[in-house]
Chains A and B, each alone.
Chain A
Amino acid sequence: YPLNGAVREKDPSMDLLQQYLENYYDLAKDVKQFVRRRDSGPVVKKIREMQKFLGLEVTGKLDPDTLAMIRKPRCGVPDVGQ
């Protein structure tokens, strides 16, 4: 039984989120999404950090409000980090 499980559909909003966190929340470029893990992996931690900074409900998930926020026009300067 292949260890890597069924190949999942690429989720464009996950890419959008990944890009957003890399651009504005100092997420390291090579960190892959661990949606199945319950605990707060680096990406989930970054989602929480972003939701807190931007005044969203801190769910750690890519909920509709968060998705709407990362689609809004903004300044290109990061929100945290260098």
Chain B
Amino acid sequence: FTTFPGLPKWRKTHLTYRIVNYTLDLPREAVDSAFEKALKAWEEVTPLTFSKIYEGEADIMIFFAVREHGDFIPFDGSGNVLAHAYPPGPGLYGDVHFDDDELWREDKSGTNLFLVAAHEFGHSLGLYHSADPTALMYPVYNPHTDLTRFRLAQDDVNGIQSLYGPPPTSSPDGPAVPTESVPPEPGTPATCDPALSFDAVSSLRGEILFFKDRYFWRRSRWSLEPEFHLISTFWPSLPSGLDAAYEVNNKDTVFVFKGNHFWAIRGTEVQAGYPKDIHTLGFPPALGKIDAAVSDKEKKKTYFFVEDKYWRFDENSQSMEQGFPRKIADDFPGVGPKVDAVFQEFGFFYFFRGPLQFEFDPNAKMVTHVLKSNNWLYC
């Protein structure tokens, strides 16, 4: 494998991509899934995660174009050059252009979009070409590649991991996608680790979800044993290492936050049009992320916690309320200074900070219990 001169690479692990336009050769869903599958191939062997945005500037902007298309490297009609891409960086860098004079196909009856996309995304992540003819990053398109059992070659894996390292918990045969609870592997968070902290916690249709890294525990009223899953098992397009999550009951929707993006999920379905930018909720432009959030189903108010302050959002008017942010310590004494996660159950707010959990009575405005974070997991 080779990397670009100067070794350009992304300085963050969560990247966004945007499909700016579509080829007419394929249904849009086929194009969407080809790109999703191509990114997943790289996601599975690195700490990188990808999420799709629908407007604005993404790290990886994807275009279909013919001949001269604005980057001084015109395409050449059908055949020869199929596509090109730029190494990591701002603006044009990281972007991928596909020659729409090719016949893009899901199979091999034309040029396979998934295969070319997976190669080009390798460039967007910082890989140059490989001299290994079995590698995805070999420059010449191989129409005989077995698409049914596609796997990155070891050379590809060595190359991308030389830039970003292995996934946070790399199992020898690559991450499986289990249908039942994931047995704990070395490096995965231990359910009853007394030091366990959570990234985000939310109710969902009567269950409680505890998110951590790439995983989540699922605690339902009907089983005494919490289930442990990869986030990607249920929501492949969601990133790992979430910041916050909350359920709005009367919408049967859970909102999930990471960085300056948020997603709406209903059951296992990520809603179309997401992720959106958190500033569309009314946060000040300087705000980069939130720490925790909870929606009070009685009062129809949603609380967003950021550092030592919080905002309140009115679910009826769908707007951030005036007079915020306020200090967490002023209205939620005893839970701060800052919080990792929070959810509502039995009328109480349960705040999580590191390995501690604070049961807070919003009416009495006081902490009524201090517990271990993972006591909901029957530890």
A55-B133, A82-B5 known; A73-B139 Cβ under 8 A: no
- Contact in complex: A73, B79 (CB < 8 Å): yes
Residues of chain A lying within 8 A (CB to CB) of residue B131: 52-55
Name the one of A69, A74, A77, A78 contacting B80, with C-beta atoms under 8 angstroms: A74
Residues of chain B lying within 8 A (CB to CB) of residue A74: 80-82, 139-141
Q: Scoring A residues 45 to 82 as 1 if CB is less than 8 Å from chain B, else 0, what string do you get?
A: 00000001111000000000000010111111111011
Residues of chain B lying within 8 A (CB to CB) of residue A71: 80
A54-B140, A69-B140 known; A77-B5 Cβ under 8 A: no
The CA-CA distance from A71 to B73 in the complex, in Å, is: 19
Tell me if B305 is interfacial: C-beta within 8 Å of chain A. Answer: no
- Contact in complex: B75, A73 (CB < 8 Å): no
Residues of chain B lying within 8 A (CB to CB) of residue A73: 79-82, 102, 111, 140-141
The CA-CA distance from A82 to B80 in the complex, in Å, is: 20
The CA-CA distance from A77 to B80 in the complex, in Å, is: 12
Interface set, chain B 139-156, CB cutoff 8 A to A: 139-141
Residues of chain B lying within 8 A (CB to CB) of residue A72: 140-141
- Contact in complex: A77, B140 (CB < 8 Å): no
- Contact in complex: A75, B139 (CB < 8 Å): yes
The CA-CA distance from A71 to B76 in the complex, in Å, is: 13
In the complex formed, the residue of A with least CB distance to B127 is A77
Q: Scoring B residues 104 to 121 as 1 if CB is less than 8 Å from chain A, else 0, what string do you get?
A: 000000010000100110
The CA-CA distance from A54 to B111 in the complex, in Å, is: 21
Residues of chain A lying within 8 A (CB to CB) of residue B289: none
For the complex formed, measure the closest distance between the CB of B375 and the CB atoms of chain A, giving whole angstroms. Answer: 53
The CA-CA distance from A77 to B87 in the complex, in Å, is: 10
Residues of chain A lying within 8 A (CB to CB) of residue B75: 76
A24-B139, A54-B140 known; A77-B129 Cβ under 8 A: yes
Residues of chain A touching chain B, judged by Cβ–Cβ distance below 8 Å, are 24, 52-55, 69, 71-79, 81-82
17 pairs, CB–CB < 8 Å, chain A vs chain B? A54-B139, A55-B133, A73-B81, A73-B82, A73-B140, A74-B80, A74-B140, A75-B84, A75-B119, A75-B120, A75-B139, A76-B81, A77-B84, A77-B129, A77-B139, A79-B129, A79-B139
Further contacts, 20 of them, CB under 8 A, given A75-B82, A82-B5: A55-B131, A69-B140, A71-B80, A72-B141, A73-B80, A73-B82, A73-B111, A73-B140, A74-B82, A74-B141, A75-B84, A75-B120, A76-B75, A76-B81, A76-B82, A77-B128, A77-B129, A78-B129, A79-B128, A79-B129
